[in-house]
Amino acid sequence: MRETTSTPSVGLTLYKQVKRQMLAGLASGEWKPGEVIPAEKQLSQRFKVSIGTLRKAIDELAAENILIRHQGRGTFVAMHSRDHHLFHFFNVIRHDGERTEPAITLERFAKTRADKRVCEKLGIAHSAKVFTYTNLLSLHGAPVEVDEITVPEALFAGLTEAQLRNRPSTIYSLYQTAFGLNVIHIEERVRACLADSRLAGLLRVQPGTALLQIHRIAFSYHHQPVEYRLSYLNTQEYEYVPKMAQ
């Protein structure tokens, strides 16, 4: 008997339809971070597909680090732990290949209105209110990167400086636990720039020092942009290595 789903979508293979429906369940909070999803038999009955088709959808979600399989325990919704962030979203390593967790200092926090560029990046209305904050990242005891981060107030209502400064885990873990926003992928572009006096002071380099500028948009489910950041990396001892090259 031919397999069908409850809401077929023209142009999508069957397992892709199942994947999209599972993403809808994740986005709605039906299955929360750290929770186990229903058993394969139950899900295959729900989506009216074979176990094999369901597994293909789950395999793809697991490959994208949205779901995590634990042998003998089931399949869980991924949570943003420090290890997860370090190996999936932090792309800076020392020239000798050593990777370490950065020490982060919050330098600035403000609520303001977004300029045209930020509105376009985040897909928000002209002059919408946003939170902006600056983090200084240090590796092996020395400042290496400055992150200038912007998030929409509409998605992060009530965000405070204290939440950012005192968070027990990563920034993306805070997004997930406090605001129900799960960052599942990022898009980045890089270019060269020169340090102005402010960046030079934070990174302890001379003004005019060459830096790597990294533009990042972080997305949640359904390709919803939730964060825009500009990062400035001192490449004297460190380099940027995108995930695909690691």
Greater model confidence, 60 or 1:
60
Domains contained in the chain, number: 2
Q: List, for residues 100-130, the tens digit of each pLDDT value.
A: 889 999 999 999 999 999 999 999 999 999 9
What pTM, to 2 d.p., does this model score? 0.77
Instruction: Using a pLDDT cut of 70, give the percent of the chain over it.
Output: 91
The answer, yes or no, to whether residue 6 has pLDDT greater than 90, is: no
CATH number at residue 27: 1.10.10.10
Same domain, 151 and 178: yes
CATH number at residue 224: 3.40.1410.10
Reported for 169-175, long-range contacts at CB under 8 A and 24+ positions apart, including other chains, are 169/80, 169/81, 169/82, 170/80, 170/81, 170/82, 170/84, 170/85, 171/85, 171/135, 172/80, 172/85, 172/89, 172/218, 173/79, 173/80, 173/81, 173/85, 175/80, 175/226, 175/227
The answer, yes or no, to whether residue 12 has pLDDT greater than 70, is: no
Same domain, 41 and 153: no
Asked if the structure places residue 60 within a domain, the reply is: yes
Q: How confident is the model at residue 81 (pLDDT cuts 50, 70, 90)?
A: low
Asked if the structure places residue 2 within a domain, the reply is: no
Q: How confident is the model at residue 84 (pLDDT cuts 50, 70, 90)?
A: low
Residue 244's pLDDT is what? 52
**What average pLDDT does the chain have?**
88
Instruction: Using a pLDDT cut of 90, give the percent of the chain over it.
Output: 61
Same domain, 36 and 126: no
Residue 9's pLDDT is what? 46
3-state secondary structure the chain: CCCCCCCCCCCCCHHHHHHHHHHHHHHCCCCCCCCECCCHHHHHHHHCCCHHHHHHHHHHHHHCCCEEEECCCEEEECCCCHHHHHHHCCCEEECCCCCCCCEEEEEEEEEEECCHHHHHHHCCCCCCEEEEEEEEEEECCEEEEEEEEEEECCCCCCCCHHHHHHCCCCHHHHHHHHHCCCCCEEEEEEEEEECCHHHHHHHCCCCCCEEEEEEEEEEEHHHEEEEEEEEEECCCCEEECCHHHC
Pick the last residue of a domain from 44, 77, 110: 77
Same domain, 129 and 28: no
Residue 128's pLDDT is what? 96
Residue 31's pLDDT is what? 87
Q: List, for residues 200-217, the tens digit of each pLDDT value.
A: 999 999 999 999 999 999
Q: How confident is the model at residue 221 (pLDDT cuts 50, 70, 90)?
A: confident
Residue 62, domain extent? 14-77
The answer, yes or no, to whether residue 246 has pLDDT greater than 80, is: no
CA distance linking residue 150 with residue 132, whole number of Å: 4
The answer, yes or no, to whether residue 11 has pLDDT greater than 70, is: no
Place of tokens 């830096």: 211
Chain centroid to Cα 240, Å, comes to: 17
Same domain, 216 and 95: yes
CA distance linking residue 175 with residue 89, whole number of Å: 14
Q: How confident is the model at residue 245 (pLDDT cuts 50, 70, 90)?
A: very low
Asked if the structure places residue 150 within a domain, the reply is: yes
Q: What is the mean pLDDT of residues 176-183?
A: 87
